[in-house]
Chains A and B, each alone.
Chain A
Amino acid sequence: MKIPIAAFILVVICRLLFGFIKRARARQAENAWLPSELRSAKLVFAERTFRTWKPFPLVARIDRGYLLNGKIVLTELKTRNITQAYLSDIVELSAQKLAMEQETNFRVSETAYVLTENPNTLRRHAHKVHLLSSASLIAMATRRQGIMKGEIEPCFAKSKGLCGQCVYRDQCRPELASNQ
């Protein structure tokens, strides 16, 4: 009878130890890509959705939110081969900031991080970005609404390379589709 109890206790101790090691390794792995500014910050939000009706109906899901000096610093994960942050990432993070501020009244930092992960090597790089103002975001949302209603003519992509692989190429640029 004593042997099964001892074995059970041993298993429990081993699992607890395993859990401790797993957490320690996770922290260590985290420190490999975490910017020095965020090392002292507390991770408070992960995969959390925020909604607001004002200034316009907006829904945004944040990947991570760190609490640093009374402000939330947002982090967005992107899997891509190029270690670069794009304008679309900044717009997305700015929308997350607005939704979070409106729903929770938290103060959200003007700067955020875009974390690029290479899908082959799984290496991560953090890029610090400055977010757009609420006014710019409202203007963008108003423009989008105008485009959807057909009142404003939508612009083409700035990079022509994007058109080559676009699924709406036949409707948008038939001249490119016929060249294929």
Chain B
Amino acid sequence: MATETSTTADRRGIVERLRASPFLSELLSNRLAIIGLSIILGMVLLGVYARLFLDLGAISQSQLAAHPNKAPPGWLGSAALDQFLFGTDAAARDIFKRVLYGAWLALKFGVLVVGASTVLGISLGIIAAYYGDVVDNVVMRTMDVFLAFPSLLLALALVAIFGAGLSKVVIALTLVYTPRFARVVRGAALKVLEDEYIDATVALGARDPRVLVRHVLPNCLAPITVQSTLNFGLAIIDLAALSFLGFGAQAGTPSWGLMLKNGVSNGLLTGDWWLSFFPGLFLAVTVLGFNLLGDGMRDALDPRMRE
């Protein structure tokens, strides 16, 4: 009975808190954060469009029979080729379409990595906070050691164990990013535990991890969202980096990292700049979008950073 009422009260609390939240109004008044949000929304639209309307076969397989290879963007001169907005690559595939599809891949695998590590992090953080003492210490300090490693090197080490391939890279990066979420959740969970009302619910006989989930999750939604946003950009870069180094996407897949790899090996010396320029531009702009939004969110959340 006691938990029932407190849950409904809490649920009403979320909506009201959001409406009157200084966090949201602060965020919406931040011009850079709005720019970031627009970039992200734009990329999502492009990605979804590419997923729905582009033929994956045509942009993965060689088109040497049909088109010229390494053709510069059509608008650069030869009018006959104006259908290739971003030019074609070494296998005569349309770079524009590939870049659009790359947006879908980056967001999809970014969501997989960040989503999985958020869920894992929430579980570990809550477990650590709930059981405290030895469990807390061992779990969190192990996470800390993981945090001390640079993400790319750690991911490379894990790839050495799991082997190459996009799905394995996703697993490796999930492990790399989990500690960051675990730490945030644990901090928020400990704060909630300190509050008296949890003591009250526990005293009423609800000593149950479910209680924690119900009370902790609403309270750490904001920090988790900030963390997810900031790490989304990093995760996309790391995903692309691993593909760039040859451990992620397999040949033909229109991933930005792999396109950059091809651009470096095929276009650097000959000056075919469009091979690497456009995929990298989309990657950098997307990451910048997440960083702008995440930064704005952090400033809105953490009054210390404001005057």
Are these two chains actual partners, yes or no? no
